[in-house]
Amino acid sequence: MTVHRLLPQREQVEQIRPAPDAVSPANAGSGPRAPEPSSEPDIPFAATWISPEARRAARRVLASGWVTTGPETELFEDEFAAHLGARHAVAVSSCTAALELALRALRLPVGAPVLVPAVTFCGAVQAVLHARLRPVLVDVDPRTGQVNAATVARAARVCGCPRAMMVLHYAGAPAPVAELAEAARLPLTHIVEDAAHALGTSVDDQPVGSLSRAACFSFYATKNLPIGEGGMVTTDDSEFARWIRRARLHGMSADAWRRNTTGGNWRYSVEEAGLKANMTDVQAAVGRAQLRHLDDWQIRRHALAAQYDAALASLAGIEPLDVPASGRHARHLYVVRVEEEYGTGRDELIDRLAEHGIGTSVHFEPLHHMPYFRDTAITPPGGLPGADALFPRLLSLPLYPHLTDSEVDRVCTELARLGDRHGTARAARSAVPADALPALAPGHPLPAGLRTLVIGAGEAGQALARDLARTPQFGLAPVGFLDDDPVKLRAAVIGGLPVLGELDDSREAVLTHRAEAVVVAIPGLGSERFRQVAGAAEASGASVRYLPSFIAALRRDVVGSDMRALDVPALIGRAEMHIVSPEVRATIAGKRVLVTGAGGSIGSELCHQVRAFGPSRLFLLDHDESNLHRLQLELYGDALRNDDIVISDIRDRPRIDQVFRELRPDVVFHAAAHKHLPLLERHPCEGVKSNVRGTDNLVRAAIAAGTSRFVLISTDKAADPVSVLGATKRLAELIVRDGQQDSPPGTVFSAVRFGNVLGSRGSLLSVVAQQLGEGAQVTVTHPDATRFFMTVEEAVGLVLEAARMARGGEVFVLDMSVPVRIVDLVRKFARSVHVPDIDIRFTGLRPGEKLNETLFAEQEGHTSTAHPRILAATSAARPEGPAALSQALPALYAAAERNDTPEVRHVLADLLPGFPAAAQEHAHTGMTHPYPDDF
């Protein structure tokens, strides 16, 4: 690693003089100060902190007289293995030595090909060469800096049959080890993980260190567990561990220190070649002491990374790397891409930051750029375009536990300032060049619907693509196929559309070709394979269509006829919008995420999409245990597999406090609520208990637990509410806004308002479909009633984007254009399912219903956001000032607990002008076939 000094031209470098038992992070760097007027101290790229306990441990070992490998090393091995849940750990002199020893222990023939990432530290490929093996370079995804299944498969084909693979968890981000092994057609016994950055990383719920045959860690001075030098190999294979333990000391059959203990024997033998690569007791003693601080240091690293994420989210051209797999990020490095839209090149930016006292680094120069490795490694034909595209943009920012919040703010401020002259508005954030998109035939119009990948280029896929292309009102514009059939891959173009890769390329294809939707058109595709493809696509920001009518059509070999059910634009009077972006991953990946109301329609869809972005844990909270069990089966294929199910009622404050204390979620999506509008008119006390007090309980618990992001799911009925549903949800919005003021810096509370969601449980269309199926009259409240409608994909996308964009206190609303008459939507839906003539009975508006909904209250304005179709409500003043709500809530809660309906409505009316204090008369005729709001 090369650390960029702050000003190389400075004549003198200040010497660091640490205190006897500590190193101050402010003076821990190695560079000179910038000649700026500011008196602020330099911010080094990296700083090593050796704890007082570690210094005392080193002095103790030095005083013992035994300083090479000995009892301290054995204790360090045991404690390190226990920390990771591995059966064995073998301490060595460096991570490079660990990699070489692990490769040697595989007993591969001389010259056997080993797959190695093209972007990694040079020592990793040196380890392959020293083990007398042949490195095969694997290209990387420029969005993640890591290899993916497609590039691994391509490199594997080049060398014929790789015998092993080195998987790097780059910067500490989890790599999909099993997926990559499958792409290389290698068993996990022949995977060696380069975990130099990955102490603290997990893939899904499994810590790196117990995933494959061997994981190799580094204790270099700037790593997550800094010692100065040293490394460790972890494995669950006892014989593998014994071999490395012998080989690290010349292949000797007995450790030197044991031969010098009482009763020891001087005899030993050497049966195989070995290295001189043992760890000393001094290093081990330091490591043991530092290990006690690791968990706290990791918490701090995550907090700093979150601070970077939040500060850089609105800065055009500075893009954090995506995370390629679900799990926990170790946050060893904070790596960004400096895109063209930033306006300043990477190298110039490094110099400018150095002039202002900020150190940076670059990880790493691609191996094929170095003459020695060009001659000794195998490079796939066509080169390594991903690595070549990524390297000129790579930049690592300062990230270490003793970096202060103000120093991160200063780094981000300088980045923003240096980019100001080029504009910081983040509009179209995709860095994909236009020539990377599939070419259209001359005169062919640009796609009008969502850019859609069709999975499967067989007859079903081709028929689907034809129907979508011929019928733009479906709202899906096909851009290409993915298929595993070698014949179709060689054909390159089928039915006028390009074949963009294999099924394992779904994530890369979504990003490269800016796909917004993915439709699977392979009859009989196994459920596990479907989940893999769908998960990869969703993790890239695309929506995957779960369409029972489409699946049924495939089984009948008829594709186009049932696709009319997808005519979303015709139903809602506007084009469906793709909202969720790949940048959402930074908000979710590696975080502990809690979803309340997880078993509901929106909650469960939210869980599906959140899971695809790689949270370290996903907690499912609901009071309905059956729905939770069903959801876990959907997510994982089995249930009761972990402790992530939480049965709890949000109205139970002690229980909610306990849940937050124990789970300590980083991100909370609050979807739990009573939301059946007519029933809440009859039972307003229950609405208050769940929607108001339940939200209050969650907000208080989130603040106490240090939750960093909290998103409330609200409703458009909260704008100038006249229903109990709208009133209780408006109070929930205000509670969330108050929570923002009461929370510590860095905590973000926000809300989103939904329109009516098409297809959710109990919503309008599901009731209409049931009525049509029964041959009954279709009930509509009023011929002129209008509503704003959203698809489930739009609704969940709004929630995820709100979590990404929120800075605190906002109420986000999707710009849904003009409202739709309910009766028109019902008639169009009936025609789409081949019922052209329907009998509609108008029942009259029900208590609490408006003839026309609005998105914003009369006293609210709205502003644009970083997303062109998402707005934020403004000037939503609290009733009678900030104290009014907190003073009135106890009386409201007390009335609800007494089930005093008149008093509840009276307090609501006092708090929310325009809300009727007296209940409207209930019209029983309107309840024959009621449909709730059910957002």
CA distances from 507 to 67, 324, 394, 489, 544 (A): 50, 9, 21, 17, 12
Task: Band the pLDDT of 665: cuts 50, 70, 90.
Answer: very high
pLDDT top residue among 923 and 367: 367
Q: What is the pLDDT of residue 256?
A: 58
Separation of alpha carbons 411 and 353, rounded Å: 8
Helix boundaries (H) for 106-222: 122-130, 149-159, 177-184
Q: Give the bridge partners for 206, in sequence order.
A: 203
Report whether 734 contacts 751 (CB < 8 A): no
pLDDT top residue among 348 and 925: 348
Q: What is the pLDDT of residue 707?
A: 94
pLDDT top residue among 863 and 101: 101
pLDDT of 50 higher than 60? yes
Cα atoms in the 13 Å half-sphere on the side-chain side of 389: 19
Share of the chain above pLDDT 70, in %: 78
Helix (H) or strand (E) holding 192: strand 191-194
pLDDT top residue among 648 and 927: 648
Average confidence score pLDDT of the chain: 81
Q: What angle do CA 107, 112, 114 make, to 5 degrees?
A: 95
pLDDT of 428 higher than 50? no
DSSP strand E in 554-687: where?
A: 592-596, 617-622, 645-647, 667-670
3-state DSSP assignment of residue 842? strand
Report whether 805 contacts 866 (CB < 8 A): yes
By CB neighbour count within 10 A (0-12 exposed, 13-18 middle, 19+ buried), where does 916 fall?
middle
Q: What is the pLDDT of residue 266?
A: 65
Report whether 819 contacts 695 (CB < 8 A): no
Q: What is the pLDDT of residue 559?
A: 33
**Peptide bond before residue 749 is cis, with ω within 30 degrees of 0:** no
Nearest to 357 by CA among 18, 27, 49: 27
Report whether 140 contacts 386 (CB < 8 A): yes
**Structure tokens of 703?**
């603040």
| Statement: the pTM of the whole predicted model exceeds 0.85 | no
Handedness of CA 204, 206, 212, 217 (dihedral sign): positive
Neighbours of 264 (CB within 10 A): 13
pLDDT of 760 higher than 80? no
Task: Band the pLDDT of 58: cuts 50, 70, 90.
Answer: very high
CA distances from 240 to 88, 487, 528 (A): 9, 42, 32
Task: Band the pLDDT of 1: cuts 50, 70, 90.
Answer: very low
Separation of alpha carbons 811 and 736, rounded Å: 10
Neighbours of 59 (CB within 10 A): 12
Q: What is the pLDDT of residue 635?
A: 79
Separation of alpha carbons 159 and 336, rounded Å: 32
Q: Rounded to a whole number, what is the largest CA-CA distance in the chain? A: 99
Helix axes 281-291, 71-84, angle to 10 degrees: 30
Q: Quick one: average pLDDT of 259-267?
A: 64
Neighbours of 126 (CB within 10 A): 17
Which of 4-8, 538-542, 851-855 is the least confident region? Answer: 4-8
Q: What is the pLDDT of residue 264?
A: 64
Q: What is the pLDDT of residue 430?
A: 33
pLDDT of 384 higher than 50? yes
Q: What is the pLDDT of residue 902?
A: 93
Which of 302-306, 367-371, 744-748, 871-875 is the least confident region? Answer: 871-875
Separation of alpha carbons 671 and 606, rounded Å: 9
Share of the chain above pLDDT 90, in %: 45
Q: Give the bridge partners for 498, in sequence order.
A: 493
**Structure tokens of 838?**
């329907």
Report whether 249 contacts 222 (CB < 8 A): no
pLDDT of 35 higher than 70? no
Report whether 514 contacts 430 (CB < 8 A): yes
Task: Band the pLDDT of 792: cuts 50, 70, 90.
Answer: confident
pLDDT of 901 higher than 80? yes
- Identify which of 5-19, 267-281, 551-565, 829-843 has the greatest average pLDDT: 267-281
Q: What angle do CA 678, 683, 684 make, to 5 degrees?
A: 95
pLDDT of 32 higher than 80? no
Task: Band the pLDDT of 634: cuts 50, 70, 90.
Answer: confident
pLDDT top residue among 781 and 714: 714
Residue 782 main-chain phi, psi, to 5 deg:
-155, 140
pLDDT of 930 higher than 60? no
Kindly report, residue by residue over 680-732, the tens digit of the pLDDT: 999 999 999 999 999 999 999 999 999 999 999 998 888 888 899 999 999 99
Q: Give the bridge partners for 335, in sequence order.
A: 396
Q: Quick one: average pLDDT of 787-813?
A: 81
Separation of alpha carbons 301 and 311, rounded Å: 15
pLDDT of 672 higher than 90? yes
Q: What is the pLDDT of residue 786?
A: 75
Q: Quick one: average pLDDT of 348-371?
A: 94
Q: What is the pLDDT of residue 267?
A: 72
Q: Give the bridge partners for 615, in sequence order.
A: none
- Identify which of 154-158, 251-255, 569-573 has the greatest average pLDDT: 154-158
pLDDT of 13 higher than 70? no
Task: Band the pLDDT of 493: cuts 50, 70, 90.
Answer: confident
pLDDT of 19 higher than 70? no
Is 223 part of the annotated catalytic residue set? yes
Q: What is the pLDDT of residue 870?
A: 82
Q: Quick one: average pLDDT of 1-8?
A: 34
Annotated catalytic residue: which of 223, 591, 675, 717? Answer: 223
pLDDT top residue among 870 and 773: 870
- Cα 575 from chain centroid? 27
Nearest to 586 by CA among 822, 851, 903, 318: 318
DSSP assignment of 451-520: EEEEE--SHHHHHHHHHHHH-GGG-EEEEEEE---HHHHHH-EETTEEB---GGGHHHHHHHTT--EEEE
Separation of alpha carbons 870 and 814, rounded Å: 5
Kindly report, residue by residue over 204-245, the tens digit of the pLDDT: 989 998 889 999 999 999 999 999 999 999 999 999 999 999
pLDDT top residue among 373 and 445: 373
Separation of alpha carbons 318 and 397, rounded Å: 11
pLDDT of 420 higher than 70? no
Report whether 592 contacts 619 (CB < 8 A): yes
Task: Band the pLDDT of 580: cuts 50, 70, 90.
Answer: low
Q: Give the bridge partners for 113, in sequence order.
A: 134
Separation of alpha carbons 865 and 8, rounded Å: 41
pLDDT of 879 higher than 50? no
**Structure tokens of 542?**
């695309």
pLDDT top residue among 668 and 887: 668
DSSP-derived pairing of the beta strands 493-494 and 497-498: antiparallel
pLDDT of 654 higher than 90? yes
